[in-house]
């Protein structure tokens, strides 16, 4: 049985729900190796072949009608829901905070009794800057945790990785927004201690399990390394023995996720978050989305003509 990731590369619940629904109905999808576009893989989506579907999203509201289909077909699934509440220059394409919070709670209600286990909150990444210092983050996380209390059991955090494409964007933002960004390496031990202690206090106050994602720094400050595609959680709900769920060795260093097949493709998400590794230029995303005329009927989430 396969674990399906939907998706680290794009926001399928926000933008490709109809395509996903058709893939469920037809029982398979094709995926492209991002490092070798000629390598295409077929993966079954029949319920008997799928151990779990892990959704990654910032706006699952358009996806709500499709959840009923997943329930009818008895798929096990859960959501990695990113909710940060950054300024618009970092997250320009998202609904208002009020709508994001409402969507988070409504998703919980749709899933039902197990919603708090299966809607996992990500405050990710933590970006330290002159306009978003550590106190800013601790204040935001405390407010969000209080608002979401009872609707989720897990909080996942990580400090930003400055990939080249992100560094280029931030260089431009530094000039246009009069903001200075700080790499994790530039933070002092007292800074990281303050952040780690603050995160742990918030988690304790609101009964949250606190984990880090692929973060070698926070582990030294009492934040437990976690697995976002969580074999233990999947095993507990599906009965699949945990020792039969392999670790994914093709992810970043320090990643503890279980092995999965990703349905998505890079440079297709219209949120345009400034810190996102999954797209290079906004023009590329727009070109990709305009180049495929029959995406909902395609077995491949791809945009090559």
pLDDT one-digit tens code per residue, 5-28 = 999 999 999 999 999 999 999 999
Lowest-pLDDT choice from 41-50, 55-64, 180-189, 280-289: 280-289
User: Quick one: pLDDT at residue 101?
Assistant: 99
pLDDT one-digit tens code per residue, 201-250 = 999 999 999 999 999 899 888 899 999 999 999 999 999 999 999 988 88
Q: What distance in Å separates the CA atoms of residue 129 and residue 131, rounded to the nearest whole number?
A: 5
Quick one: tokens of 238? 């599906």
The residues with which 32 forms a beta bridge, in sequence order, are 40
Phi-psi region of 126 (alpha: psi -120 to 50; beta: other; left: phi over 0): beta
pLDDT at 181 exceeding the cut of 70: yes
Burial class of residue 88 in the structure, from the number of CB atoms within 10 Å of its CB (0-12 exposed, 13-18 middle, 19+ buried): exposed
Provide, rounded to the nearest whole percent, the portion of the chain with pLDDT above 90: 84
Mean pLDDT, range 61-82, rounded to an integer: 97
Confidence grade of residue 34 (pLDDT, cut at 50, 70, 90)? confident
pLDDT one-digit tens code per residue, 95-150 = 999 999 999 999 999 999 999 999 999 999 999 999 999 999 999 999 999 999 99
pLDDT at 255 exceeding the cut of 70: yes
Count of residues making up the chain: 305
Residues 218/224, Cβ–Cβ less than 8 Å = no
CA distances from 85 to 15, 91, 99, 178, 240 (A): 20, 8, 11, 19, 36
Confidence grade of residue 293 (pLDDT, cut at 50, 70, 90)? very low
Provide, rounded to the nearest whole percent, the portion of the chain with pLDDT above 70: 95
Number of Cβ within 10 Å of residue 284's Cβ equals 14
């Amino acid at each position: 049985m396969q674990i399906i990731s939907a998706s680290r590369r794009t926001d399928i619940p926000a933008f490709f729900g109809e395509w996903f629904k058709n893939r469920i109905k037809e029982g398979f999808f094709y995926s492209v190796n991002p490092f070798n576009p000629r390598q295409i893989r077929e993966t079954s989506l029949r319920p008997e072949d799928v151990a779990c579907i892990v959704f990654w999203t910032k706006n699952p509201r358009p996806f709500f009608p499709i959840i009923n289909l997943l329930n009818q077909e008895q798929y096990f699934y859960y959501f990695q829901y990113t909710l940060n509440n950054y300024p618009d220059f970092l997250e320009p394409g998202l609904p208002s905070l009020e709508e994001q919070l409402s969507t988070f709670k409504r998703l919980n209600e749709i899933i039902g009794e197990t919603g708090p286990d299966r809607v996992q909150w990500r405050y990710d990444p933590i970006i330290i800057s002159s306009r978003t210092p550590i106190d800013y983050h601790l204040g935001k996380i405390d407010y969000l945790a209080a608002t979401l209390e009872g609707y989720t059991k897990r909080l996942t955090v990580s400090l930003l990785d400055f990939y080249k494409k992100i560094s280029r964007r931030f260089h431009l933002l530094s000039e246009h927004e009069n903001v200075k960004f700080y790499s994790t390496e530039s933070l002092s031990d007292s800074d990281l201690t303050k952040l780690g202690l603050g995160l742990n206090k918030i988690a304790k106050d609101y009964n949250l399990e606190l984990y880090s994602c692929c973060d070698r720094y926070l582990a030294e400050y009492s934040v437990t390394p976690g697995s976002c595609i969580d074999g233990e959680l999947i095993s507990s709900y599906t009965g699949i023995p945990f020792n039969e769920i392999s670790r994914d060795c093709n992810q970043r260093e320090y990643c503890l996720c279980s092995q999965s097949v990703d349905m998505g493709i890079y440079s297709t998400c219209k949120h345009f978050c400034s810190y996102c590794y999954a797209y290079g230029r906004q023009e590329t995303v727009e070109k990709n989305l305009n180049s495929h005329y029959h995406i909902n009927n395609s077995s491949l989430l791809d945009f090559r003509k």
